[in-house]
């Protein structure tokens, strides 16, 4: 029997805030009276994240998966492939506490009329490089797949698991930014989209893992992977998948 919701949360070096973040999500989700599980994927953290997560060892609402480091994108895909078999809905959020659980209720209350519901980051403080890459990603997705999703890489997304399960089969396991491609495929297939502005706060713990030249290198990789996926699905009819 499936549960209502599976939350996919990748974690990397977040020992300072991970317990607080998980407790805040547990409080919000428990108040909704649903059956849920949070899948925490510890992506080879080199700090005390693994030890911090042990406080939840006896909490059956949380499953902690400690894995070798493979990067944010591949880690999310592992979580997605697990969640779509477990729950009717999949929600992905990051573990850095930049987007709070307060807005989730609005997404959840509107889910029945939509296939994918996105929290659009507002008040986001980015440097020039990240602003450029975000804008460029949105333009590329619109040109290749069509319009529909404003914040194509938002880490605050609720998607029907049966829809997400069909989509992830087209995405290679080593994809750097699968959420960007998933947003594009949702647009391409003409699925029902809901968007909600969600306040974004800069992190106060930990540090950004991709900076300077690595950011541009990663963006280039994501661009070519997006082109590859577009070529793979451009003639696919969603109704036949």
The ranges assigned to domains in the chain are 3-240
174, two tokens: 């080593």
Residue 2 has a pLDDT of 85
Residue 201 has a pLDDT of 85
DSSP 8-state class, residue 47: S
- The residue ranges of the chain whose pLDDT is under 50 are 210-211
CATH (residue range 3-240): 3.90.550.10
Gap between the Cα atoms of 101 and 83, Å rounded: 19
Gap between the Cα atoms of 28 and 33, Å rounded: 10
**Parallel, antiparallel, or unpaired: how do β-strands 116-122 and 62-67 relate?**
unpaired
Residue 164 has a pLDDT of 98
Residue 129 has a pLDDT of 66
Residue 78 has a pLDDT of 98
Gap between the Cα atoms of 109 and 78, Å rounded: 27
Whose structure tokens read 């499936």?
2
Residue 1 has a pLDDT of 55
Residue 235 has a pLDDT of 87
> Which residues share a beta bridge with 156?
93
Residue 218 has a pLDDT of 81
The pTM is what? 0.91
232, two tokens: 């793979």
Residue 12 has a pLDDT of 96
Question: How many C-beta atoms surround the C-beta of residue 60 within 10 A?
Answer: 7
Per-residue pLDDT reduced to its tens digit, 38-85: 999 999 999 999 999 999 999 999 999 999 999 999 999 999 999 999
């Amino acid at each position: 029997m499936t549960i209502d919701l599976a939350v996919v949360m990748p974690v990397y070096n977040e020992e300072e805030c991970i317990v607080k973040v998980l407790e805040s999500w547990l409080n919000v989700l428990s108040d909704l009276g649903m059956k849920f599980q949070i899948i925490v994927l510890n992506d080879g953290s080199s700090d005390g994240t693994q030890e911090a997560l042990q406080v939840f060892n006896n909490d059956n609402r949380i499953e902690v998966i400690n894995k070798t480091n493979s990067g944010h994108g591949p880690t999310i895909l592992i979580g997605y492939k697990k969640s779509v078999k477990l729950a009717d809905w999949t929600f992905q959020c990051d573990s850095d506490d930049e987007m709070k659980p307060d807005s989730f209720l609005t997404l959840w209350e509107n889910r029945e009329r939509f296939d994918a519901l996105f929290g659009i980051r507002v008040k986001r403080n980015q440097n020039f490089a990240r602003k450029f890459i975000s804008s460029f990603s949105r333009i590329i997705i619109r040109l290749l797949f069509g319009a529909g999703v404003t914040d194509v890489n938002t880490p605050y997304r609720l998607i029907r698991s049966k829809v997400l399960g069909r989509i992830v089969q087209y995405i290679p396991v080593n994809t750097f930014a699968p959420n960007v491609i998933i947003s594009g495929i949702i647009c391409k297939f003409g699925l029902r989209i809901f968007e909600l502005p969600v306040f974004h706060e800069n992190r106060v713990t930990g540090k950004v893992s991709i900076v300077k030249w690595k950011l541009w290198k990663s963006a280039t990789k994501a661009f070519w992977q997006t082109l590859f996926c577009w070529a793979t699905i451009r003639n696919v009819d969603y109704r036949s998948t």
